[in-house]
Structure 1
Amino acid sequence: MTAKQVGKRILQIVVVLFGISFLTFSLMYLAPGDPVRAMYASAGSVPDDAVIEQTRKELGLDRPFLAQYGSWLAGVFRGDMGTSLALKKPVAAVMSARLWPTLKLALFSLFLVVVFSFPLGMLTAVHHNKAADYIVRFLTFIGNALPGFWVALILMYFFALKLGWLPVMSTGTGFSDLVLPSVTLAVSMTAVYTRQVRAAVLEELHRGYVWGGRLRGLKKNNILWRHVLKNAMLPLVTLLGLSFGSLLGGTAVVEVIFSYPGLGSMAVQAVANRDYPLIQGYVLWIALIYMVINLLVDISYEYLNPGTKERLRG
């Protein structure tokens, strides 16, 4: 992609983020309930109406909608997303503290997915309609059908409670804290990607360059790993990018079950506490992640398959 195209995409990202911020702020403003009362309730206190009104005034919640949105948006441009009502800390600081644990969880989960799904996908494609193909396809069907919370509970029961190999609750600091949440996330994703790799490799195996390579005496493994896999990677890059964005947004169910201190569990707590500034910052963060990763995926197309350069420029 040219610099002009990248600049145009960045401008589109800014416009979309502006729209998402306005929509999110509007929904938070119109949501039922009083965030100030929820803030005091989460702290275990029940103040009188005078204190609540004073707090609302101090937080600027008594001002008109556009005035509140304008102040919040101006703060976002300065890197200030407001202050968490429940935690009494800057939203940016709270999210930054939760980002690194979620980043580790996302990277390790994707690592497990790639390590298992790509070899299994190629194995089923090479042995199409044979015993290995049927076995792996059956296992991927089961893995894709299992609910994530059920997998998490089963893994926790056997490996944490019965065997005692891994901790029940994750602090996000050590490697052992990553294992169970990462495996839980990787189970269903590995099943999906194995099927995707199988379909992409099968399509490539029927192309002419594969037969041409075999006729010229190239080894089968050389054709598979150096040519077939490279060409099959292009449609899979988008899926990997979107999956990484989803994981960085936080997988709430898994993080809550393992008490993992990531963005997903933070979002659940923010919703429960009606912590509107934290929710708004979280939604804006997720939107930014998806759009930036989508842009990076489009740029990577040219390096994975130079033949797509002219098509992307068109």
Structure 2
Amino acid sequence: MSGGYSPFPSAGPRRVSSKKAEFMLKYFFKRCMAILPVLFVVSVLAFAFVHLLPGDPARMMAGDDADEATIEMLRTELGLDRPLPVQYLTYMGKLVRGDLGISLRTNLTVFDELKLRYLPTMYLAFAGMAWSVVIGIFFGAVAAIYSGKWQDYTAMMVSVSGISVPQFWLGLLAIQLFSVHLGWLPVAGYTGKFSELILPSFTLGATVAAIMARFTLSAFLDVLGEEYISTARAKGVTETLVMWKHAFRNALIPVITMVGLQFGFLLGGSVVVETVFAWPGLGRYMIEAVAVRDYPVLQALLLLYSFHFVFINLVVDMVYALINPEIRYE
């Protein structure tokens, strides 16, 4: 057949899509390979930091009444009498096999202990992130759309208040109001009920919501100053369409990066909230491990938190590249 109609679809868009998929795949593997040396450095730092903590775990495990012979025997069993490089190599060898060690406090495997506490912390972090994204983006967008008006000042006043209020005080205030005074929500603890998640997740997400609001406002104002916004307005596009189709969509690109970074902050910041609300999560577990110098638990938690940050950054970069096709990584 010559000219005109062809029964076969053009391969142009498919080739473009294929190239984009190939690029994303290569970038994904490149970033995954970059994770390995980062985790290695983190493992060294975590091992060194934990061993610099004051106190002797063998003496703490043996008790105040134990004699020196018993303490030395326990130190030998734990391998604490070996040189630090040997202890590190032994630890890494077990880690590669998935062995995180035995908790010095409970005498249970650290892996089993983490399994019990991992999901409650994830539930709390995701719920807190949901609060922060919804509230933060809403207040930030309102402040940008009504810039210079009372809505702007009100939204930013709420944001500054959210940043200034300590989490433990906000948590105690929420317990006093909604649990003790009104009796609407449980005071503390977690047994799997959704109602038990509301107060701690809101307390956790309040500070991040304030940060998200400020960042959304800044991103929104930057986009509103671009030439394509002025062009859209000059063409007679309604202000509502300009704000939500053009400005809001492009302002979300840097906000998504902030969401990923703040999610890592939520995982670390859950220590205070989990303590206030007696939440059976990783943050409270870390406090208990620090109190008794539980080396295996502290090393596992530091590595886990570090892996979370690295993995979140990877996901954010991939999403960032997907939603903004103009971005090209070297």
Output the TM-score relative to the length of structure 2: 0.88
* Inter-CA distance 141–127: structure 2 relative to 1 (3 Å threshold): same
The alpha-carbon deviation at position 2 of structure 1 amounts to 4.1
Structure 1 residue aligned with 2:59:
37
Equivalences for residues 123-162 of structure 1 within 5 A: 123-162=142-181
The aligned length equals 308
Equivalences for residues 96-115 of structure 1 within 5 A: 96-115=115-134
Structure 2 counterpart of 1:130, which letter?
A: K
Preserved contact between residue 149 and residue 257 of structure 1 (Cα < 8 Å): yes
Q: Distance in 1 between matches of 2:298 and 2:75?
A: 18
Preserved contact between residue 175 and residue 187 of structure 2 (Cα < 8 Å): yes
Q: Distance in 1 between matches of 2:267 and 2:135?
A: 21
Structure 1 residue aligned with 2:325:
306
Q: Deviations over 1:134-190 (max 9, x none)?
A: 111112112211111111111111112222222222225211221111111122211
* Mean Cα deviation higher: 205-214 or 260-269: 205-214
Q: Deviations over 1:234-291 (max 9, x none)?
A: 1111211011122234521111111111111111111001101100111111111111
Structure 1 residue aligned with 2:107:
88
Residue 281 of structure 1: which of 275, 293, 300 is its match?
300
User: What secondary structure does 1:306 align onto?
Assistant: coil
4+ long deviations beyond 4 Å: none
Residue 207 of structure 1: which of 226, 245, 259 is its match?
226
Preserved contact between residue 172 and residue 261 of structure 1 (Cα < 8 Å): no
Preserved contact between residue 170 and residue 178 of structure 1 (Cα < 8 Å): no
Structure 1 counterpart of 2:54, which letter?
A: P
Residue 10 of structure 1: which of 12, 15, 32 is its match?
32
Q: Distance in 2 between matches of 1:115 and 1:201?
A: 16
User: What secondary structure does 1:296 align onto?
Assistant: helix
Q: Deviations over 1:49-78 (max 9, x none)?
A: 333222222222222222211111011111
Structure 1 residue aligned with 2:67:
48
Could you tell me the percent identity over the aligned residues? 38
Preserved contact between residue 188 and residue 277 of structure 2 (Cα < 8 Å): yes
Q: Distance in 1 between matches of 2:152 and 2:119?
A: 38
Preserved contact between residue 101 and residue 261 of structure 1 (Cα < 8 Å): yes
Structure 2 counterpart of 1:292, which letter?
A: F
State the Cα RMSD in Å: 1.8
* Mean Cα deviation higher: 25-34 or 107-116: 25-34
Structure 2 counterpart of 1:101, which letter?
A: P
Preserved contact between residue 39 and residue 275 of structure 1 (Cα < 8 Å): no
Q: Distance in 2 between matches of 1:257 and 1:46?
A: 33
Q: Greater Rg, structure 1 or structure 2? A: 2
Structure 2 residue aligned with 1:268:
287
Equivalences for residues 181-192 of structure 1 within 5 A: 181-192=200-211
Structure 1 counterpart of 2:120, which letter?
A: P
Structure 2 residue aligned with 1:76:
95
Structure 1 residue aligned with 2:47:
25
Q: Deviations over 1:100-146 (max 9, x none)?
A: 00111111111111211212211111111011111111121122111
Q: Deviations over 1:61-102 (max 9, x none)?
A: 222222211111011111111111112111122122211001
Structure 2 counterpart of 1:27, which letter?
A: F
Structure 2 residue aligned with 1:219:
238
Structure 2's unaligned 5+ residue stretches are 1-22
Structure 2 counterpart of 1:69, which letter?
A: Y
The alpha-carbon deviation at position 17 of structure 1 amounts to 1.3
Equivalences for residues 59-70 of structure 1 within 5 A: 59-70=78-89
Preserved contact between residue 172 and residue 178 of structure 1 (Cα < 8 Å): no
Preserved contact between residue 146 and residue 152 of structure 2 (Cα < 8 Å): yes
